[in-house]
Chains A and B, each alone.
Chain A
């Protein structure tokens, strides 16, 4: 039996924007962001289709065709071992995306969980967690990653770990500040009053409501992580030969033959710049679209 009649009738409200309309609005309103997104999509497609589209095996040496200039046979030339630069670039995008996404998703997610937990528990937990984060924050990103990879040894999982760890406190800091506001929301009190466990409140009631800063941090980290992976590989602490990676391609023989065979350095350098630029363009536009208040940061 209905106790009182449903006087406020169901309002004829439009459903929430579909993904498609949201994406369309984003592309129209932020063309630069759309270009960034397009480049990222192309990178993805290239990485996935690498075995199909690359003209040569990226690790097979061809000592007859060393240091060949760009030609019809080798569009972007060959390196000091006669390996096709284009094929190595194509396969290198796999390394870049794997490490980039792996490190940023893990770093941003762990940072978000820590930041939200820190805000939720407050008090002493918050104090000690934040001071710990401050200690990590006091190291520059690349120095900390360098130190970690030097300790851990260089394999791709270790590289992801080394890049992820310095990102955690950065994500935690930003997400904690959003979570502090969520912490004061009555629906969090309602969840506590309902007798839910802390884990459920953090995961179900607080984390979904800090999605905007989370996505912003994530896209900001993507470019950084790609750049960091390249830097570490360039310094010889990242991916090891003969695995194709952009930073690695810039190193060694590329320096030696910079004048006689500039294509060895130019094209991987362009690939790194273009991808980082694309991630940053997309990240900035996404940030503006999701949360204009964060623009000044």
Chain B
């Protein structure tokens, strides 16, 4: 893969190297999964889960990553965290290229980069108490060598995420969903990371609890200077928490811009359709506004459409869209879109 000619970075079109405040830069990330195949016989299919994705995140910023189920947003997060090894492309975190690091070299980097999962029920080991879950990384990384110091730190972490000290002795099954998600957040905070990948951290929670967790994440960001990659499918939540938003469709980023700009002036027809699908909490407005429901289904990433992957469902597609892959280009300053017609 040749070096990218142009990558949408935090500071508009400027390359990341120019500003040291870029924490994470993803360049032409590709993740393909092979389907089938075994001891004999080669793979029978290729799932293009992530197909040439590039973006960057400034220190202290929240980048929202939205898209439908299966569009590759979670895989993107996992590739950044090196839970999956990317097929191609680069992940630069604090100036280091992660995709070529050996597991041993990666271990210290992992401290700087944490994750919060969607499902608060399966993201905590049911056989460990909250205290053990929070203390383990402190012990393993030698952050706090003494058991007593770790207990103190666990109490502090519980406090910070709004849990009571006695929760440390509980097992996950004794906590509510919201409490468990707080434990997940505390676990991520324990190693004092710079970046937290939030993989749909509130989609499994009740709406009232969602608000609490979102507020907690915002408070923690303000206090600790955290950077978030916030993966979600809920546009309202993303709008609330993000500074910039990237929209993914079938393994590609189709639009990337400031939050305000995206919601007020979406350029890509897919983004427009997504925003139009959000109900307006006013029955009269809702009843009178025109409906733009996308026809068809999301195509299989096993066999993506030619040209622009969105063309079979696009209301404004023209012949060109079938043959030409639209690059993600800066349409107006700071506003990137992958549409030939934008």
Asked if B69 lies at the interface with its beta carbon under 8 angstroms from chain A, I say no
Across the interface, A194 reaches (CB within 8 A) one of B137, B174, B219, B220, namely B137
- Which A residues have a C-beta under 8 Å from some C-beta of B? 2-8, 10-11, 13, 16, 127, 131, 185-187, 189-197, 200, 204-205, 208-209
Residues of A within 8 Å of B161, CB to CB, are: 3
Q: Which residue of A lies closest to B106 (CB)?
A: A195
Residues of B within 8 Å of A186, CB to CB, are: 117-119, 122-123
In addition to A2-B160, A190-B123, 11 A-B residue pairs with Cβ atoms within 8 Å of each other are A3-B162, A4-B216, A6-B162, A7-B162, A11-B174, A13-B174, A186-B123, A187-B125, A194-B187, A194-B191, A195-B137
In the complex, the answer to whether B140 meets A209 with C-beta atoms within 8 Å is no
Q: Which residue of A lies closest to B167 (CB)?
A: A10
Residues of B within 8 Å of A187, CB to CB, are: 122-125
Q: How far is the CA of A217 from the CA of B190 in the complex (A)?
A: 38
Q: Which residue of A lies closest to B140 (CB)?
A: A196
In the complex, the answer to whether B115 meets A11 with C-beta atoms within 8 Å is no
Q: Which residue of A lies closest to B199 (CB)?
A: A186
Query: Which residues of B in the span 45-60 have a Cβ within 8 Å of any Cβ on A?
Result: none
Residues of A within 8 Å of B107, CB to CB, are: 195
In the complex, the answer to whether A4 meets B122 with C-beta atoms within 8 Å is no
- Of the stretches B175-183, B265-273, B286-294, the one at the interface is B175-183
In the complex, the answer to whether B108 meets A3 with C-beta atoms within 8 Å is no
A-B contact count, CB below 8 Å? 95
Q: How far is the CA of A53 from the CA of B5 in the complex (A)?
A: 88
A-B contact pairs, 6 of them (CB 8 A): A4-B216, A7-B162, A186-B117, A195-B137, A195-B141, A204-B128
Residues of A within 8 Å of B162, CB to CB, are: 2-7
In the complex, the answer to whether B216 meets A3 with C-beta atoms within 8 Å is yes
Q: How far is the CA of A190 from the CA of B176 in the complex (A)?
A: 20
Residues of A within 8 Å of B179, CB to CB, are: 8
Residues of B within 8 Å of A4, CB to CB, are: 162, 212, 215-216, 219
Q: Which residue of A lies closest to B115 (CB)?
A: A193
Residues of B within 8 Å of A208, CB to CB, are: 125, 127
* Shortest distance from the beta carbon of A2 to any chain B beta carbon, whole Å: 6
In the complex, the answer to whether A190 meets B187 with C-beta atoms within 8 Å is yes
Q: How far is the CA of A105 from the CA of B209 in the complex (A)?
A: 46
Q: Which residue of B lies closest to A9 (CB)?
A: B164
In the complex, the answer to whether B122 meets A185 with C-beta atoms within 8 Å is yes
* Shortest distance from the beta carbon of B53 to any chain A beta carbon, whole Å: 20
The answer to whether A209 and B167 touch (CB under 8 A), given A4-B219, A190-B187, A192-B83, is: no
In the complex, the answer to whether A194 meets B140 with C-beta atoms within 8 Å is yes
Residues of A within 8 Å of B215, CB to CB, are: 4
Residues of A within 8 Å of B219, CB to CB, are: 3-4
Q: Which residue of A lies closest to B117 (CB)?
A: A186
Q: Which residue of B lies closest to A128 (CB)?
A: B39
Residues of A within 8 Å of B187, CB to CB, are: 190, 194
Residues of A within 8 Å of B303, CB to CB, are: none
Asked if B99 lies at the interface with its beta carbon under 8 angstroms from chain A, I say no
Asked if B166 lies at the interface with its beta carbon under 8 angstroms from chain A, I say yes
Asked if B16 lies at the interface with its beta carbon under 8 angstroms from chain A, I say no
Q: Which residue of A lies closest to B111 (CB)?
A: A195
Q: Which residue of A lies closest to B177 (CB)?
A: A8
Residues of B within 8 Å of A196, CB to CB, are: 136-137, 140
In the complex, the answer to whether B117 meets A190 with C-beta atoms within 8 Å is yes
Q: How far is the CA of A190 from the CA of B124 in the complex (A)?
A: 8
Across the interface, B115 reaches (CB within 8 A) one of A5, A6, A10, A190, namely A190
Q: Residue-by-residue, is B126-144 near A (CB-CB < 8 Å gives 1, otherwise 0)? A: 1110000000110011000
Across the interface, B223 reaches (CB within 8 A) one of A3, A7, A185, namely A3
Residues of B within 8 Å of A10, CB to CB, are: 164, 166-167
